Amino acid sequence: YLNKLLAKRKASYAAIDEHVDESTQIIGIGIIMYLQNPSDITVKFNVKKGSGSTVIFCVERLAQRFKSESLNIRACIPTSFQATQLILEAGLPLAELNAHPVIDVAFDGADEIDPSLNCIKGGGGCHLQEKLVAAAAKKFVIVADYNKDSPALGTKWTKGIPVEVIPMAYVTIQNKIKTLKGKSALRMGAPAKAGPAVTDSGNLILDVFMSNLKGDNAVLETSQILKMIPGVVETGLFVGMAGWAYIGLEDGWVFNQI
Ligand code: 5RP
């Protein structure tokens, strides 16, 4: 597990160092969970998979460089409440997307990445904000560990495509998915008996299983079909959005670019 954390850290540092310079002013930060002391790797043993644990290291590196170099970062745009807190604690300038609708570069993790850098995101349920920030970014950079690198979406991430839905229609949407030969499960909170997981926007999440996500066309088609169902707010399929993926390996990092 330590190797995986070190891999994430290496990939994150490489991504920040290659994509942030004096010309970078507005940065998107995708994190949904973090620990109190990002500089102490030992405490990171508590970070769970699918929680945005990778991008914590991006903030760690960004904060180091912000303090020691003459960077011109004017705003960091968070994708969740937790990202907001981390940006503040790291001493980075916080701002909202509407104030800075064009982002120079956004950094985010992923649950799975295919060879075209299409991704499944939303293991932590923040894919709506994450997609809004990614779509506003001139460059969208994914940082992940070796477990996320996959030949086809759905191969390694077997928990389904996270789909954020309007609460009043979740059963209708589940029925519609059945007619499309898919399956879905309402994501429950923790503990499950407390009820369903609720997103930052007050919606519910369906984890959706559709067959065949192999190849760009299949991924795009699935994303479009799901998006067309009334009540679907956003899916965790990020198609053609990422331009770079930094995958941390046990012994270093590799760099991929479309
Ligand atoms: C949350 C996400 C995360 O980026 C994804 O779950 C990756 O998390 P981690 O870096 O902890 O593996 O999409 O909605």
Side chain identity, residue 31: I
The CA distance from 169 to 177, in Å, is 12
The CA distance from 226 to 133, in Å, is 20
The larger pLDDT score, comparing residue 48 to residue 207, is at 207
pLDDT of residue 192: 76
pLDDT of residue 255: 65
Q: Residues 120, 131: contact at Cβ < 8 Å?
A: no
pTM for this prediction: 0.90
Q: What is the mean pLDDT of residues 8-30?
A: 93
Residue 18 annotated to the active site:
no
pLDDT tens digits, 112-163? 999 999 999 999 889 999 999 999 999 999 999 888 999 999 999 999 999 9
ipTM of the complex: 0.95
Tell me: pLDDT of 104 over 70: yes
Q: Which long-range contacts (CB under 8 A, 24 or more apart) does 222-228 make?
A: 222/161, 225/180, 226/161, 226/163, 226/177
Distance 168 CA to ligand 1 centre (A): 27
Rounded alpha-carbon distances, angstroms, from residue 64 to 15, 16, 56, 247:
14, 11, 13, 21
CB of 145 within 6 A of ligand 1: the answer is no
DSSP H or E stretch at residue 29:
strand 26-29
Distance 245 CA to ligand 1 centre (A): 14
Is 109 exposed, middle or buried, given 0-12, 13-18 or 19+ CB atoms closer than 10 A?
buried
Distance 83 CA to ligand 1 centre (A): 12
pLDDT tens digits, 44-86? 333 444 456 778 889 999 999 999 998 999 999 999 887 888 8
The CA distance from 93 to 212, in Å, is 42
Q: Which of 60, 96, 112, 130 is flagged as catalytic?
A: 130
pLDDT band at 36 (very low <50, low <70, confident <90, very high): very low
Q: Residues 17, 58: contact at Cβ < 8 Å?
A: no
Report which DSSP code applies to 187.
P
Tell me: pLDDT of 34 over 60: no
pLDDT band at 198 (very low <50, low <70, confident <90, very high): very high
CB of 32 within 6 A of ligand 1: the answer is yes
Protein residue whose Cα sits closest to atom 4 of ligand 1: 109
Q: Residues 143, 11: contact at Cβ < 8 Å?
A: yes
The CA distance from 139 to 152, in Å, is 23
Q: Which atom of ligand 1 is nearest to the CA of 55?
A: 10
